[in-house]
Amino acid sequence: MIIKKKLSKNKPNIFTKLFLYLMLFSGALLSLFPFYWMFVIATNPNHVVNRVPPAMLPGEHLVINFKNVLETIPFFGALYNSFLVSTTVTVSVLFLSSLAGYAFAKLRFKGKNVLFVFILVTMMIPSQLGLIPSYVIITKLGWISDLRALIVPGMVSAFGIFWMRQYIKEAIPDELVEAAKIDGCSQLRIYWTIVVPLILPAFATLGIITYMGVWNDFMWPLVVLKDESVHTIQVAVRLLNDAYVRDYGMIMSGTFWATVPLVVIFLVFNKFFIESLTKGAVK
């Protein structure tokens, strides 16, 4: 408390402040503009997307375009599927990555470094080529047009393990783990009561990133989900493209409204973790 009072007297440089604000403001503006523009197209008839110079104001086709979307694809069913897949995968990735990350960061076992390097190496393989053999595996499992084809391979993530290991290594002092061990805490208990509370920011970050990644993935879902009843929202939105003729107003409307739930989830998730973060920040 005393420190804080002293600080407020020690006023920050006005130029620093100006610079920071300018940077953040232009960053936010450039990031948000394309969203506004998406909305503009989503509320206009098709030909407006081609207007040069581009249209800058929302039009009157908000309802019409979205109605067209609902007539063309099972929008809400697809949202539900996306929600189901993204949530399951995210929960699983958070749990399994933090367990593995903890093991790599704090536990001693033979071959640890080799195995970790192996995980890093797996990230370097371009996945585009495994498509046909992967498809063979999924057909053998009988998972074509089955959400398990998305969920099960996505349950672990090399990236997630890497991220968690780096974070746990830095955020949790070895002494803390050692002390708990000497006190006779089981490993699962150490993980649950010591590690998890201290890595909430890492959870938030990885959770958001994983959720977005799964939600927006379309290459693999396109290949394995054939039936309309199991389409995720990305696959469904692709169906708004007609063979030769494209209604951009409708496509953007579908894309825009498919993004909105994600933004909401992001906001909720973000707020929840930021709060838990500030509460537990008195280290």
Partner 1 sequence: MPEIQTKNNTTKVLKMPYFTERKKESLTGYLYISPFFILFTIFSIFPIFFSFYLAFHRWNGLGEMQYVGWRNFKLILDDPMFWKSISNTFIMALMGTLPQLIVAFLLAYALNSSIVRFKNFFRISIFMPNVTSIVAVAIVFGTIYTNSETGIMNVVLSYFNISPINWGSNEWGLKVAISTMVFWRWVGYNTIIYLAGMQSIPNELYEAAKIDGASLWQQIRYITLPLMKPVIIFTVFVSTIGSLQLFTEPLVFLGRTMREEGITMVLYLYREAFMNNAFGTASASAVILFFIIIIISVINLLVANRLGK
Partner 2 sequence: MFAKKSLYSILLIFILLVAGCSSKEKTNSESDSDSDSDGNIELVVWTFGSTGYEKFLDEYKKIKPNVTIRFQNADLADHHNNLFTAISAGSGAPDIAMIEAGYIDQYREAEDKFENLYDLGAKDIQSNYLDWTWANAESADKSFLFGIPTDIGPTVMYYRTDVFEEAGLPTDPEEVHALTSTWDDFRKVANQVKEKTGKPMTDNVNLIYYSIRDQSPETYFNREDELIIDNSPYIKNAYDYSIQLINDGVVGKISMWTPEWGTAMNDGSFGVMLAPSWMQNVIKGNAPDAAGKWSITHLPEGAGNWGGSYLGIPSQTKHADEAYAFVSWLLSPENQLKSFTEEGLFPSTPSVYSNPAFTNFSDEYFSGVNTAKLFSEAAEQVKSAYTGPGYAIANTEIGTALENVNTEGKDPEKEWKDALDRITRQLERR
Q: Segment 244-273, which members bind partner 2 (CB under 8 A)?
A: 244-247
**Separation of alpha carbons 16 and 3, rounded Å:** 21
Residues 36-75 that bind partner 2 (CB under 8 A): 45-47, 49-52, 54
Q: Which stretch binds partner 2 (CB under 8 A): 2-10, 147-155, 195-203, 207-215?
A: 147-155
Among 122, 186, 193, 270, binds partner 2 (CB under 8 A): 186
**Separation of alpha carbons 163 and 277, rounded Å:** 18
Q: Write the Ramachandran bin of 111: left for phi over 0, alpha for psi from -120 to 50, otherwise beta.
A: left
Q: How many CB atoms lie within 10 A of CB 143?
A: 18
Handedness of CA 80, 261, 49, 220 (dihedral sign): negative
Among 39, 64, 74, 146, binds partner 2 (CB under 8 A): 146
| CA distances (Å), origin 86, targets 145, 151, 153, 200, 248 | 17, 8, 13, 19, 27
CB of 58 to partner 1, least distance (A): 15
Closest to 240 in 3D by CA, of 47, 62, 74: 74
**Separation of alpha carbons 195 and 171, rounded Å:** 9
Please say which residue, 201 or 220, places its beta carbon nearer to partner 2: 220
CB of 51 to partner 2, least distance (A): 6
Please say which residue, 60 or 126, places its beta carbon nearer to partner 1: 126
Radius of gyration of the chain (CA): 24
CB of 186 to partner 1, least distance (A): 8
Among 39, 58, 59, 145, binds partner 2 (CB under 8 A): 145
Please say which residue, 75 or 163, places its beta carbon nearer to partner 1: 163
| CA distances (Å), origin 182, targets 99, 146, 179, 255, 283 | 20, 47, 5, 54, 22
Give the DSSP letter of residue 13: P
Residues 74-93 that bind partner 2 (CB under 8 A): 84-85, 88, 92
9 is in the binding site of which of partner 2, partner 1, none (Cβ under 5 to 8 A by kind)? none
User: DSSP 3-state assignment of 218?
Assistant: coil
CB of 64 to partner 1, least distance (A): 19
26 is in the binding site of which of partner 1, partner 2, none (Cβ under 5 to 8 A by kind)? none
- Residue 239, token pair as written in the block: 């169906």
Residues 227-246 that bind partner 2 (CB under 8 A): 227-230, 235, 238-239, 241-246
Q: Which residues bind partner 2 (CB under 8 A)?
A: 45-47, 49-52, 54, 84-85, 88, 92, 95, 99, 131-132, 135-136, 138-140, 142-148, 151-152, 155, 186-189, 222-223, 226-230, 235, 238-239, 241-247
